[in-house]
Amino acid sequence: MEKMSFIVPCHFGMESVLKREIINLGYEIETVEDGRVTFTGDSSAVCRANIFLRSAERVLIKIGSFHAETFEELFQGTKNLPWENYITEDGRFWVAKAASVKSKLFSPSDIQSIVKKAMVERLKTIYHKEWFDESGESFPIRIFLMKDEVVMGLDTTGDSLHKRGYRKLTAKAPIAENLAAALIMLTPWKGDRILVDPFCGSGTFPIEAAMMAAGIAPGMKRSFLAQEWKHIVPPQYWKQAIDEAESMVNPDVETDIQGYDIDNKMVSISRENARLAGVEHLIHFQKRGIDQLSHPKKYGFLVTNPPYGERIEEKENLPAIYRELGERYSALDSWSMYVITAFEQAEHYIGRKADKNRKIYNGMMKTYYYQYIGAKPPYRGNGRSGSGG
């Protein structure tokens, strides 16, 4: 099968997690850049990457790259790319997004317009047509410009990969599923360890953790644009990838995953989302305030997304919330705590400086991932040592 390059965007700050996921799928990394990883694979990688990658936003086939400082260079560079290898004669194609950083060409609407015109001109000469009715499959294009270097990708995914298909009901400020999964993967947590989210909202952290523990691939229950592209990805590749995913599911795994929220409505929403994800039997959700946070066992993990104070009236409550979080955490024996928040004074009110702090962009919002590292559990004597908290 012919090798292709794939561009996989992710949240800024999560590139190392995504890189590790791609390597674990058996693919070779080409480049790692801010907010995206490029790797090499065959057309079956379209299926496997979309179905298995937890931290990715989407999977793009790299069509090509070139240097452009003028719209004429953009037009000619686009026209020189082999669009006919991907877009069918009746295909519907458009530039879904153009992003420009430190480049002379910076207007997204102008970039989108020029690229579309160049693609049409190329396909006119190939298909010997003056007009395209665009009634067939969809082929959205995404363009990245960085320091006048243009990279063009064909979106195989459609709706972003954070949409697993299970979250029908959401909290006021939900964390994206792919970001939640990536944050869990930044910890040493494994499925046989305790994980508690004391601000669970719509249940995203516990659900993503349960899916990992049970080996449930995040894309198993949804569809993708490229499933319609039979000239690029033969249907049997999708079946093979789904069969592979189904063979890895272990619904009988034993877990200790818990989600608490002070709002009864959110607890109900979490349970329903967990049911839709097929992991409701692996998670215990409960109405409980942060002041009631406790656990009798050692070596657990707190992974949570506390309130940021998005609204003015909420900001005055933040010091008390983070102070209580710090006090309850200090009472937990040998636990680790991982907190993502945009609240700049979180460490101050938690009462302890984090062992590690990583800056992460949640959309356009700058957040911090405070990592408090607990003790490692003792050696278990079964060939495995405890992975550190």
Structure token digits, residue 42: 């065959």
**What digits encode the pLDDT tens for the residues 167-223?**
876 766 689 999 999 999 999 999 999 999 999 999 999 999 999 999 999 999 999
Calculate the CA 184 to chain-centre distance: 11
Predicted pLDDT of residue 315: 78
Nearest-angstrom CA–CA distance, 384 and 8: 33
**What digits encode the pLDDT tens for the residues 297-355?**
999 999 999 988 665 557 788 999 999 999 999 999 999 999 999 999 999 999 999 99
User: Who's near 37: CB < 8 A, 6+ residues apart?
Assistant: 7, 8, 10, 15, 18, 19, 22, 29, 31
Nearest-angstrom CA–CA distance, 360 and 32: 16
Distances (CA, A) of 305 to 90, 197, 214, 326, 377: 46, 8, 23, 14, 25
Query: Would you say 354 and 342 are in contact if contact means Cβ atoms under 8 Å apart?
Result: no
Angle at which helices 15-24 and 177-185 cross, to 10°? 80
Predicted pLDDT of residue 309: 67
Nearest of 7, 17, 15 to residue 49 by alpha carbon = 7
Where do the DSSP E strands lie in 133-209? 138-146, 149-155, 194-197
The mean of the pLDDT values for the chain is 94
The answer on pLDDT for 388 being more than 50 is no
Calculate the CA 271 to chain-centre distance: 22
Q: With left for phi above 0 and alpha for psi between -120 and 50, is residue 257 left, alpha or beta?
A: beta
Nearest-angstrom CA–CA distance, 200 and 307: 11
Nearest-angstrom CA–CA distance, 151 and 144: 5
**Which residue type does 281 have?**
H
Whether the model pTM is above 0.85: yes
Name the DSSP class of 301: E
Structure token digits, residue 70: 């003028």
Give just the sign of the alpha carbon dihedral 126, 131, 134, 135. Answer: negative
Query: Would you say 318 and 349 are in contact if contact means Cβ atoms under 8 Å apart?
Result: yes
**What digits encode the pLDDT tens for the residues 62-101?**
999 999 999 999 999 999 999 999 999 999 999 999 999 9
